[in-house]
Amino acid sequence: MDPLAGRIAVVTGAASGLGRAMALAFAAEGMHVALADVDEANLARTADEVRARGVRALALRTDVSRAVDVDMLAARTVSDLGGVHLVCNNAGVSPLGAAWENSVADWRWALGVNLWGVVHGVRAFTPHLLAQNEGHIVNTASVAGLISPPGMSVYNVTKHAVVALSETLHHDLRERGAKVGVSVLCPAYVPTGIADSERNRPPEFADSAPVQSPELLAKKEGLKKAVRSGKVSADEVAQAVVAAIKGGHFYILTHPRIKGAIQARMQDILDERSPRNPLAL
């Protein structure tokens, strides 16, 4: 989809991190942007930054795990901004822990945001894009959707599901002959607030797990350090997304060095052997 100027984008998780960077990148391309997040204060700041680039912005508090919220986001985007051409289902959270350590609340929270948020976005917006036979959908997954690092069971499950949904959506659209593109974004560590997503955990999903193990505490601290030290910035990822939209590329792999771990996983499957630890390769 090119050019982007004058068209309308939707970005969830737009209050910070990759969502904010994508929203600003789209605004720099001349797109009007609908911004969604549960963090209303930072969402308003992002909206002001978007407007400062000479385009319109709609900021709407949205819990992407709730179908009614995403349906309202779609309706307000069309009514307030006049349409929709690009949808970035980006909101995400990252509870950690060994497969047996995560609480039911962890699973429900992460599945709601990371997976149901994308499901709701696809369901609510794709009919609009099909009706005009034009547009693009970007679903934010992770390299954790292509490999399965230890200590990240909940996150891995949700991100593998997002990759599968995106691939199937691509096939479904191609089968219909629709001129609607799909991309799946699979970054590795990027300096964003994803490691601090607990700040937005709803009270109804409060962590009810027993005292956290030393291993889990170390894993959390390790993730924060890895995210802070990420060599690829959120702005660089956003530019890669813009390039993929313009070029019609499906997989967006922003960290080429991770391809070795992806290849190793595929080879383990084909050779029918036990999976190697991708963090040890």
Q: Which of 89, 251, 242 is nearest to 185 (CA)?
A: 251
Q: Decide if 91 contacts 117 (C-beta within 8 A).
A: yes
Dihedral sign, Cα of residue 147, residue 148, residue 149, residue 153: positive
Q: Which of 88, 32, 87, 27 is nearest to 58 (CA)?
A: 32
Task: Spot the catalytic one: 26, 109, 116, 155.
Answer: 155
CA distances 66 to 35, 70, 161, Å, are 16, 7, 18
* Tally: H helices and E strands in the chain: 9, 7
What is the Cα–Cα distance from 279 to 168, expressed in whole angstroms? Answer: 28
What is the Cα–Cα distance from 36 to 43, expressed in whole angstroms? Answer: 7
Q: Name 179's Cβ contacts closer than 8 Å, sequence gap at least 6.
A: 133, 134
Is residue 155 among the annotated active site residues?
yes
What is the Cα–Cα distance from 4 to 188, expressed in whole angstroms? Answer: 26
What residue spans of the chain are helical by DSSP H? 17-28, 40-51, 67-76, 104-110, 117-132, 153-176, 214-228, 234-247, 259-270
- Residue 207, SS3? coil
| Paired strand residues for 37 | 61
Which residue numbers are catalytic?
155
